[in-house]
Amino acid sequence: MSKEKPFPEYRRKLGPGWWLANSHFTQYMIREWTSFFVAVFSLIYIYELSLFASGARADALNLLKNPGVIAFNVLALLFTLYHAFTWFYLIGKVQPIKMGKTTSKPWQALLVNIVLLLIVSFAVIEILVLR
Protein backbone atom coordinates (compact mmCIF):
# COMPACT_ATOMS: atom_id res chain seq x y z
CA MET A 1 0.00 0.00 0.00
CA SER A 2 1.32 3.38 -0.95
CA LYS A 3 2.17 5.79 1.86
CA GLU A 4 0.69 8.66 -0.12
CA LYS A 5 -2.84 9.44 0.94
CA PRO A 6 -5.32 9.85 -1.93
CA PHE A 7 -7.02 12.75 -0.17
CA PRO A 8 -5.57 15.41 2.15
CA GLU A 9 -6.22 14.57 5.79
CA TYR A 10 -8.47 17.06 7.54
CA ARG A 11 -7.68 17.67 11.18
CA ARG A 12 -9.84 20.09 13.07
CA LYS A 13 -7.67 22.58 14.92
CA LEU A 14 -8.58 22.86 18.57
CA GLY A 15 -7.79 25.84 20.76
CA PRO A 16 -6.78 25.50 24.42
CA GLY A 17 -10.40 26.09 25.53
CA TRP A 18 -12.02 23.31 23.44
CA TRP A 19 -13.05 21.43 26.57
CA LEU A 20 -15.41 24.25 27.65
CA ALA A 21 -17.61 23.76 24.58
CA ASN A 22 -19.48 20.75 25.96
CA SER A 23 -20.25 19.57 29.54
CA HIS A 24 -18.95 16.04 28.75
CA PHE A 25 -15.63 17.50 27.61
CA THR A 26 -15.51 19.66 30.77
CA GLN A 27 -16.10 16.62 33.01
CA TYR A 28 -13.43 14.75 31.08
CA MET A 29 -10.95 17.60 31.61
CA ILE A 30 -11.73 17.84 35.35
CA ARG A 31 -11.06 14.11 35.55
CA GLU A 32 -7.76 14.53 33.68
CA TRP A 33 -6.71 17.31 36.08
CA THR A 34 -7.08 14.93 39.05
CA SER A 35 -3.73 13.56 37.82
CA PHE A 36 -2.07 16.88 38.74
CA PHE A 37 -3.06 16.43 42.40
CA VAL A 38 -2.10 12.74 42.39
CA ALA A 39 1.35 13.57 40.96
CA VAL A 40 2.06 16.61 43.16
CA PHE A 41 1.00 14.84 46.38
CA SER A 42 3.33 11.95 45.46
CA LEU A 43 6.22 14.38 44.88
CA ILE A 44 5.57 16.22 48.19
CA TYR A 45 5.46 12.89 50.02
CA ILE A 46 8.75 11.78 48.43
CA TYR A 47 10.25 15.04 49.75
CA GLU A 48 8.77 14.19 53.19
CA LEU A 49 10.45 10.77 53.07
CA SER A 50 13.76 12.43 52.13
CA LEU A 51 13.51 14.65 55.24
CA PHE A 52 12.73 11.60 57.41
CA ALA A 53 15.66 9.70 55.89
CA SER A 54 18.10 12.57 56.44
CA GLY A 55 17.14 12.85 60.11
CA ALA A 56 15.17 16.09 59.72
CA ARG A 57 11.99 14.52 61.16
CA ALA A 58 10.88 17.76 62.88
CA ASP A 59 11.10 19.68 59.58
CA ALA A 60 9.08 16.96 57.84
CA LEU A 61 6.33 17.15 60.47
CA ASN A 62 6.32 20.98 60.43
CA LEU A 63 5.86 20.92 56.67
CA LEU A 64 2.78 18.69 57.10
CA LYS A 65 1.33 21.23 59.55
CA ASN A 66 1.76 24.16 57.13
CA PRO A 67 -1.76 25.56 56.40
CA GLY A 68 -1.00 25.80 52.66
CA VAL A 69 0.05 22.13 52.57
CA ILE A 70 -3.06 21.08 54.55
CA ALA A 71 -5.30 23.05 52.12
CA PHE A 72 -3.56 21.39 49.17
CA ASN A 73 -4.03 17.96 50.79
CA VAL A 74 -7.77 18.55 51.28
CA LEU A 75 -8.05 19.46 47.57
CA ALA A 76 -5.87 16.48 46.64
CA LEU A 77 -8.15 14.12 48.62
CA LEU A 78 -11.28 15.51 46.90
CA PHE A 79 -9.73 15.21 43.44
CA THR A 80 -8.34 11.74 44.18
CA LEU A 81 -11.78 10.57 45.31
CA TYR A 82 -13.25 12.05 42.10
CA HIS A 83 -10.61 10.07 40.18
CA ALA A 84 -11.51 6.92 42.17
CA PHE A 85 -15.29 7.18 41.71
CA THR A 86 -15.10 7.94 37.97
CA TRP A 87 -12.53 5.12 37.57
CA PHE A 88 -14.90 2.66 39.31
CA TYR A 89 -17.79 3.80 37.09
CA LEU A 90 -15.65 3.36 33.97
CA ILE A 91 -14.73 -0.20 35.02
CA GLY A 92 -18.45 -1.03 35.02
CA LYS A 93 -18.87 0.56 31.62
CA VAL A 94 -15.83 -1.04 29.97
CA GLN A 95 -16.13 -4.50 31.55
CA PRO A 96 -19.75 -5.30 32.36
CA ILE A 97 -20.20 -8.70 33.99
CA LYS A 98 -22.80 -11.12 32.60
CA MET A 99 -24.76 -13.08 35.21
CA GLY A 100 -27.25 -15.37 33.47
CA LYS A 101 -29.55 -13.15 31.44
CA THR A 102 -28.62 -9.91 33.19
CA THR A 103 -25.58 -7.71 32.72
CA SER A 104 -24.12 -5.56 35.46
CA LYS A 105 -24.65 -1.79 35.27
CA PRO A 106 -21.87 0.82 35.74
CA TRP A 107 -23.48 2.17 38.94
CA GLN A 108 -23.33 -1.35 40.44
CA ALA A 109 -19.56 -1.48 39.75
CA LEU A 110 -19.29 1.99 41.33
CA LEU A 111 -21.13 0.84 44.46
CA VAL A 112 -19.16 -2.42 44.85
CA ASN A 113 -15.84 -0.61 44.39
CA ILE A 114 -16.74 2.14 46.88
CA VAL A 115 -17.42 -0.60 49.46
CA LEU A 116 -14.04 -2.18 48.53
CA LEU A 117 -12.33 1.23 48.87
CA LEU A 118 -13.79 1.62 52.39
CA ILE A 119 -12.69 -1.92 53.37
CA VAL A 120 -9.14 -1.33 52.03
CA SER A 121 -8.90 2.07 53.76
CA PHE A 122 -10.06 0.70 57.13
CA ALA A 123 -7.68 -2.27 56.77
CA VAL A 124 -4.73 0.09 56.14
CA ILE A 125 -5.66 2.20 59.20
CA GLU A 126 -6.27 -0.82 61.42
CA ILE A 127 -3.14 -2.78 60.42
CA LEU A 128 -0.59 -0.02 59.72
CA VAL A 129 -1.64 2.90 61.93
CA LEU A 130 -3.59 1.63 64.96
CA ARG A 131 -1.59 -1.54 65.69
Partner 1 sequence: MPKVARLHAILWGVFSVGGFIAAFLLPVLIYIVGIAYPLGLWPISGQDPTTSILNHHHLGTLFLFVTVAGSLYHGIYRFQSTLTELGLARAKRALEALGYLIVIVGILAVAYYLLMLNPGVLSLP
21, 26, 52, 105: which one binds partner 1 (CB under 8 A): 52
104 scored as a contact of partner 1 (CB under 8 A): no
- Alpha-carbon dihedral sign for residues 56, 59, 64, 65: positive
* Of 3, 5, 43, 95, the one binding partner 1 by CB under 8 A: 43
> Which of 21, 39, 56, 115 touches partner 1 (CB under 8 A)?
39
List the one residue from 53, 56, 97, 115 that touches partner 1 (CB under 8 A): 53
Q: CB 122: neighbour CB atoms within 10 A?
A: 11
Q: How far apart are the first and last CA of the chain?
A: 66
Contact assessment for residue 18 and residue 25, using Cβ atoms and an 8 Å cutoff? yes
User: Amino acid letter at 20?
Assistant: L
Cβ-based nearer residue to partner 1, 21 or 77: 77
DSSP states along 14-41: --TTGGGSSHHHHHHHHHHHHHHHHHHH
Asked if 26 touches partner 1 (CB under 8 A), the answer is no
> Which one of 1-9, 69-77, 96-104 is the stretch in contact with partner 1 (CB under 8 A)?
69-77
Residues 122 and 130: beta-carbon distance below 8 Å: no
Residues that bind partner 1 (CB under 8 A): 15-16, 19, 29, 32-33, 35-43, 45-46, 48-50, 52-53, 57, 60-61, 64-65, 69-70, 72-74, 76-77, 80-81, 83-84, 87-88, 113, 116-117, 120-121, 124-125, 127-131
